[in-house]
Structure 1
Amino acid sequence: MSVDTTVRLPGMRLKNPVMTASGTFGYGLEFAPYGDLRALGGIVVKGLSLAPRLGNPMPRIAETPSGMLNAIGLQNCGVEVFLRDKLPRLPHAATPIIANLYACDADEFAELAGVLSKAEGVAALEVNISCPNVKAGGIAFGQDPAMAGRLTEAVKKRAGDKPVWVKLSPNVTDIVAIARAAVLGGADALTCINTLTGMSVDIRTRKPRLANGIGGLSGPAIKPVALRCVWQVCRAVSAPVIAVGGISSAEDVLEFMLVGAHAVQIGTANFMRPDMAFRIAERLPVLMEELGIGSLDAYRGTLALPGA
C-alpha cells in the first residue's frame, strides 16, 4: 500500500507532518548528528529576540512525573546572529525552517517580523503570545483576546509574504476565544499548545527546584490537555492547527491528526531521545500502512464521537 504523508499549510508544503517544537531542538544544527534534518517535515528553531538574551539563572530545568518543568527564559543568540551564523547552515531548501518570535510589546514583535520577513530560508514566523506584555503590566498577550488579535495584526503587517503562525497558551479560561481572535488578526495557522504553568519544590532544602520559582510543564503529562485544546480549536476555526504537547510516538501523531490537526511538533521527547523526531518521521508511514490510512488529508478530523 502506498501512503501519502504530505501536508499542505499556507505558503508551504511539508513532506510529512513531523516538526520540532521551539526551544527543544536548539537551532536544528545541534541535532544533525542524530538524523537527517532533511527527513523532517519542518524545523522550528528556538525563540528569537531582537537582541541576545542570557535567560534565567540556574537551575532552570526540573524533571517531573511524565514530564519536565523549564524556566529557560528564552535564552538565544539574537536574530542577527541567527540569520548570519545559523540559518545558512540549515537545509532550508529541503526542509522548511520556521522562526519563533519573542518580544515584550507589539512594536518589538512587529520590528522582529520585519527583519525576518526579508530572510531567504525562513519559511514562516511563529509568534509566541505567551510572552508578558510589559506595556500592559505584564499580562501575557495570549491571555486576552483583544491583545492577541492586535499583536497578530501587527506582526502580519510586517511579515511580508511569510505565513504567520500564532502559538496559543493553555493557561487561559477559553482557548477558543484566543484562537478566534488570532485568526481574525490574520493568523495563517495556529500552534496549539504552549506549556502549562507549574511548580516543583524540594522538602529538604525548602526551596523551589527552579531558580525562577515557576516554569512551563511539558511532556506526556500534558498530552490529554493538548489533545483537548487542539480538538476544541480545530472545531472553532478554519485555520490549520499544528499540535504540540506530549507527542512521543507515531501513534501520538495520528491521535492529534484524528482530532483535526494538520501537523505536529515534537518537544520534550527530544530530551528523552535526541533522535526521536527522526524516528517518528520514519515510523509514521509504516504505521499508516498498518492501519490502512492512504493519506493524512483523508484521515484528518475523522474522530467518531459518541452519539454522532
Structure 2
Amino acid sequence: MDMNVSFGGLDIKNPIMTASGTFGFGLEFAAYGDLSKLGAIVAKGLSLKPREGNPMPRIAETPCGMLNAIGIQNPGVENFITQALPALKRMDVAVIANLYACDAEEFGELAAVLAAEDGVAALEVNVSCPNVKEGGIAFGQDPAQIGKVTEAVKKRAGDKHVMVKLSPNVTDIVTCAKAAVDGGADSLSLINTLSGMAVDIYNRKPRIANVIAGLSGPAIKPVALRCVHQVVQAVDVPVVGIGGIASAEDALEFLLVGAQAVQVGTANFLRPDFAFTLVDEVEALLKEVGAGSLDEFRGSLQLPL
C-alpha cells in the first residue's frame, strides 16, 4: 500500500511522526530502529538560547498517562544546527523543528534562523508558550495572539512549511484553529497536553515541582480525537492528530476522522521502538479493515444523519 503523505509542500514517507519532547532530536532513538523508516521526526522544542527547564521533580506517572513540566529544556537552536542537524540530514527522514519563544518577535527571529537550514523540512509552532509581555497567559489561549505569532513565523519562514500546534486548554479550539489559518498556517497539529496536577497525600506536596503540568498519554485520546474531528470539519488546511496514540488502532482512529498524519509521543517512553513498529502495524491494519488506500480511508467516518 502506498503510505506516502503530501500536504502543503511537506512530503513524508508515511503518516507516522514522533511528537516534540518525546523523542529528543531523534538520534537518541537510533539504537531502537531505523530513523529513515519514520514519516518525520519532530524535534524537542527549540529556543534561541539554551534553557535549563523546570526544577525536579518534573515527571509523574498517572493512571493511563503521565504528567510533565519539563520546561522546554534544550541546548538552544545554534547547538541543534551544529550538533544534531548534520547527523539527522544523513538519516533520510523529514525533520520538523518545534519552536518555543516568549513573544511574537522572538518566534519570528527563531523561524528566520531555522529557515536558512536545508535539513529542516518544516517548523512547528508551540503556541502553548507563555506570553511574557501579556502577563504570562499562553499564546494558545488567545486567538488574536495565535494569529499574531503565526504571522510572525510565516513572514520569516521562507519556503518552510509552517505547522501550528494547538492547545486543548481553551473554550473553543475551532476559533483558535481558524486564527492560526488566518495567520498563514500551512497545517495544524493537535493536541498539546491538557493541564493537570497530582499530589502526594503522605508528604502533602505536589508530585511536580511546578505544581501544574501537562497531561499526556491514553487518558487524553478521546479529547484529542474530538478536537481533531471538530477542526477538520472547520478549516481547509491539513491537520495532524496527536494525543494518546498507543496502538495502530489509535492511529487509524485519527486518520478516520480526517487527520493527514499522526504524531506519537508518550508511548515512546513506554517502548522506545514504538514509532518504528507502528509504521508496519498501521499499514497492515489498513489492509485488515479493507481500506483500498490510505487516501480512501482518511476522513471516511460515517456520521449519523
**Same structural fold, with TM-score higher than 0.5 when normalized by the shorter chain:** yes
Deviates more, 1:180-189 or 1:10-19: 10-19
Matching residue of 2:240 = 242
Pair 1:119 & 2:117 matched: yes
Matching residue of 1:230 = 228
- The one-letter code of the counterpart of 1:150 is K
The answer (yes or no) to whether the contact 2:238–2:260 under 8 Å persists in 1 is: yes
- Deviation of 1:249 after TM superposition, in Å, equals 1.1
Deviates more, 1:285-294 or 1:261-270: 285-294
- The one-letter code of the counterpart of 1:257 is L
The answer (yes or no) to whether the contact 1:37–1:91 under 8 Å persists in 2 is: no
TM-score, normalised relative to structure 2: 0.99
1:156 aligns to what SS in structure 2?
Answer: helix
- The one-letter code of the counterpart of 2:123 is L
The answer (yes or no) to whether the contact 2:47–2:101 under 8 Å persists in 1 is: yes
Which structure 1 segments of 5+ residues have no match?
A: none
- Deviation of 1:91 after TM superposition, in Å, equals 4.2
2:171 aligns to what SS in structure 1?
Answer: coil
TM-score, normalised relative to structure 1: 0.98
What do the CA deviations read for 1:189-244 (whole angstroms, capped 9, x no partner)? 00010000000000000000001111000000000000000000000001000000
The answer (yes or no) to whether the contact 1:98–1:122 under 8 Å persists in 2 is: yes
Deviates more, 1:267-276 or 1:10-19: 10-19
The answer (yes or no) to whether the contact 2:168–2:194 under 8 Å persists in 1 is: yes
What do the CA deviations read for 1:97-155 (whole angstroms, capped 9, x no partner)? 00000000001000000000001100000000000100111111111111111110011
2:276 aligns to what SS in structure 1?
Answer: helix
Pair 1:8 & 2:6 matched: yes
Q: 2:94 aligns with which of 93, 96, 104?
A: 96
Pair 1:142 & 2:140 matched: yes
- Deviation of 1:92 after TM superposition, in Å, equals 5.8
1:230 aligns to what SS in structure 2?
Answer: helix
Cα distance in 1, alignment partners of residues 4 and 250 from structure 2: 17
Cα distance in 2, alignment partners of residues 59 and 135 from structure 1: 28
2:226 aligns to what SS in structure 1?
Answer: helix
**Percentage of matched positions with identical amino acids:** 69
Cα distance in 2, alignment partners of residues 93 and 73 from structure 1: 28
Cα distance in 2, alignment partners of residues 91 and 286 from structure 1: 29
The residue correspondences of 1:61-210 to structure 2 (distance < 5 A) are 61-91=59-89, 94-210=92-208
The answer (yes or no) to whether the contact 1:4–1:294 under 8 Å persists in 2 is: no
Question: Runs of at least 4 residues of structure 1 off by over 4 A?
Answer: none
- The one-letter code of the counterpart of 2:286 is M
The answer (yes or no) to whether the contact 1:96–1:123 under 8 Å persists in 2 is: yes
